[in-house]
């Protein structure tokens, strides 16, 4: 089976949904979601908010400076300024859509937006919907997309690989023609053709054993783009959120940065505060500093966790500012208003990704990358808190404008693409191979390519990932594909890209900290990796 759209959007989080809503209404759009449209993406689980200069005492230059400082001099100033200056208009757009931002009554009696402050920010500029901003944003965008006559939602479908002119042996510049897609329920693979294809599949944080991300964060877009011939950048910068609830039943439940923004203090098991020993900003230091400090103290003491204490605030304050966090902690036996809660770092955000320009274009004509899949230059060596949802919105709008121009100049024409060929493969009777390799990839990344790295650890990881990739490729070539196998294949490839990038960086900067090169180099530069030309995978 084959179907044609003007635009294919692979991914249904904030970036993909925003792109669909900003594209011209005459374009026919196919929007792929791995599972249900509402709850699958990382967007849905985001708690904190969206950073935006909305207060009269705040300024664009302040937001830019905070972002550049958090990014350890590796942020691209043009991407940073574009994103920051887009924020107020995008917040207005969301408000018009019905986004239920939290409000408060000011001294003048008017109900304005409630702004909170998070680590690395010099002002209160994080606009939010209680402590479940992502859920409110996803719900708002989904409701509008479902009303759009030009968007066809394809749920329970996972992209297998991109189809490019180069893969088909055509001459000239490489161009993305569409994608092969696995329908998860039937197991059938079909092709989608399009004039433009956008990757908005999120990050790759499931590559680590402990993560705050949903199960689908397997780096699909990054892996597909790499196999198609796109460069990737800064893959070594994986952000670990400092404070995930430490509990066997919590599934790495995230404790928002805003808890520290509202006065929460990190404590050792004996009740001693410690962040002031690591940074003058103490508990409001950027995430890389806080995560490294916690990791250091846990290893020094042999402790399973540290503690986050906001019990000096009233129960009413905590319940009103963090209702969902309070409720979940209570379900697990912790009363935030009476006691500190145990927390540990967990893999949270992929700062690198597919290299793009300010229009979200990749190295391949007709292929765009958005959100956590992309490396726009905004995050540098460490993402500033609550800049991620903003980036999704800003670059989705930029991509929509560019796609509209490109398709008006060269309207897409349906074309026949080769059918998926599974005539030489059989059903697997050993799914344990997929399960075993999945766990091994994640454990080796946690042990050898985590918060603190060394040359020896990276070398071990590099040797082992090569063996795993060979095993996975052999398995992929002999058996019918499944969603688990697709994700494993992508996960292992992204793990290799992270390891290779980390080996190339001979310094410590931002989220990449190595004991062998503890100081930063005098000049900051991106880590770029270019795929070597190869035959069809």
What is the domain-level CATH number for residue 496? 1.20.58.100
pLDDT averaged per 10 residues, the chain (length 537):
94 96 97 84 82 95 96 96 98 97 78 87 93 92 96 96 94 94 93 97 92 88 98 96 87 85 95 96 88 90 94 95 93 96 93 98 98 97 94 98 94 86 76 88 93 95 97 90 95 98 97 96 97 62
CA distance readout (Å), 107 to 58, 126, 215: 18, 20, 45
Q: 521 lies in a domain? A: no
Inter-residue contact 129 to 102 (CB < 8 Å): yes
CA angle (62 as vertex; 61, 66 as ends), nearest 5? 115
Return the HEC string of 465-493: HHHHHHHHHHHHHHECCCHHHHHHHHHHH
Position 299 scores a pLDDT of 85
Q: 420 lies in a domain? A: no
For the chain, what is the domain count? 3
Distance CA 254, CA 237 (A): 20
Position 107 scores a pLDDT of 67
Distance CA 302, CA 290 (A): 18
Q: Does 247 lie in the same domain as 230?
A: no
CATH number assigned to the domain comprising residue 281: 3.90.700.10
Q: 422 lies in a domain? A: no
Q: Does 284 lie in the same domain as 229?
A: no
Residues known to be catalytic: 287
Q: Does 142 lie in the same domain as 284?
A: no
Q: 370 lies in a domain? A: yes
Q: Does 375 lie in the same domain as 226?
A: yes
Q: Does 46 lie in the same domain as 176?
A: yes
Residue range(s) defining the domain that contains residue 10: 2-236+351-409
Position 109 scores a pLDDT of 65
Q: Does 179 lie in the same domain as 193?
A: yes
Q: Does 86 lie in the same domain as 197?
A: yes
Q: Does 219 lie in the same domain as 81?
A: yes
Q: Does 173 lie in the same domain as 149?
A: yes
Last residue of a domain, one of 347, 371, 396: 347
**Which H or E run includes 191?**
strand 189-199
Q: Does 453 lie in the same domain as 394?
A: no
Q: 452 lies in a domain? A: yes
Strands 111-113 and 50-51: unpaired
Q: 204 lies in a domain? A: yes
**Which H or E run includes 183?**
strand 176-183
Closest C-alpha among 59, 78, 30, 70 to residue 181: 30
Last residue of a domain, one of 307, 331, 347: 347
CATH number assigned to the domain comprising residue 361: 3.50.50.60
Q: 200 lies in a domain? A: yes
Position 40 scores a pLDDT of 64
Phi first, then psi: what are they for 483, rounded to 5°? -65, -35
Q: Does 330 lie in the same domain as 195?
A: no
Q: CB atoms < 10 A from the CB of 62, how many?
A: 16
Distance CA 80, CA 382 (A): 13
Q: Does 132 lie in the same domain as 209?
A: yes
Judged by phi (left if over 0) then psi (alpha if -120 to 50, else beta), residue 11 lies in left
- Contacts with 365 (C-beta within 8 Å, 6 or more apart), sequence order: 173, 174, 175, 176
Q: 176 lies in a domain? A: yes
């Amino acid at each position: 089976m084959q179907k044609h759209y003007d635009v294919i959007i692979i991914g249904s989080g904030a970036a993909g949904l925003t792109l669909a809503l900003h594209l011209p209404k005459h374009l026919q759009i196919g929007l792929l979601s791995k599972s249900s449209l509402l709850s699958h993406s990382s967007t849905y689980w985001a708690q904190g908010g969206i950073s935006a200069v909305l207060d009269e005492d705040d300024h664009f230059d302040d937001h830019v400076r905070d972002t550049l400082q958090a990014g350890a001099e590796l942020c691209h100033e043009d991407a940073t300024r574009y994103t920051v200056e887009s924020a107020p208009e995008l917040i207005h757009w969301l408000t018009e859509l019905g986004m239920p931002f939290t409000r408060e009554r000011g001294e003048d009696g008017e109900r304005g937006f409630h702004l909170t402050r998070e680590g690395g920010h010099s002002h209160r500029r994080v606009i939010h919907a209680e402590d479940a901003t992502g859920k409110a944003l996803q719900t708002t965008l989904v409701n509008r997309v479902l009303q759009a006559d030009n968007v066809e939602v394809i749920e329970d479908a996972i992209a297998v690989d991109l189809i490019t002119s180069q893969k088909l042996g055509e001459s000239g510049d490489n161009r993305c023609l569409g994608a092969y897609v696995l329908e998860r329920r039937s197991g059938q693979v079909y092709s989608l053709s399009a004039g433009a294809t956008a990757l908005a599949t999120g990050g790759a944080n499931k590559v680590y054993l402990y993560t705050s991300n949903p199960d689908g964060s397997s780096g699909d877009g990054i892996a597909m783009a790499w196999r198609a011939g796109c460069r990737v950048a800064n893959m070594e910068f994986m952000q670990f959120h400092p404070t995930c609830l430490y509990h066997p039943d919590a599934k790495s439940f995230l404790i928002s940065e805003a808890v520290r923004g509202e006065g929460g203090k990190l404590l050792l098991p004996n009740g001693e505060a410690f962040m002031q020993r690591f940074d003058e900003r103490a508990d409001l230091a950027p995430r890389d500093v806080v995560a490294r400090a916690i990791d250091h103290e846990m290893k020094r003491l042999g402790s399973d966790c540290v503690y986050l204490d906001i019990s000096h605030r009233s129960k009413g304050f905590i319940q009103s500012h963090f209702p969902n966090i309070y409720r979940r902690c209570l379900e697990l036996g912790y009363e935030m208003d009476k006691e500190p809660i145990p927390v540990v770092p967990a893999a949270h955000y992929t700062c690198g990704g597919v290299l793009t320009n300010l229009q979200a274009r990749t190295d391949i004509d007709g292929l765009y990358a958005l959100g956590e899949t992309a490396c726009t230059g905004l995050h540098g060596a460490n993402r500033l808190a609550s800049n991620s949802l903003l980036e999704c919105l800003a670059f989705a709008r930029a991509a929509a404008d560019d796609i509209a121009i490109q398709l008006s100049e060269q309207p897409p024409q349906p074309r026949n693409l080769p059918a998926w060929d599974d005539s030489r493969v059989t059903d697997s009777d050993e799914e344990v191979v997929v399960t075993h390799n999945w766990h091994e990839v994640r454990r080796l990344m946690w042990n050898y390519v985590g918060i603190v790295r060394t040359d020896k650890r990276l070398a071990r990881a590099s040797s082992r990932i090569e063996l795993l990739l060979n095993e996975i490729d052999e398995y992929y070539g002999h058996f019918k594909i499944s969603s688990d196998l697709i994700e494993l294949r992508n996960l292992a490839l992204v793990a290799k890209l992270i390891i290779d990038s980390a080996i190339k960086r001979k310094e410590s900067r931002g989220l990449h900290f190595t004991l062998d090169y503890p100081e930063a180099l005098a000049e900051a530069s991106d880590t770029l990796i270019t795929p070597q030309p190869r035959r069809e995978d």
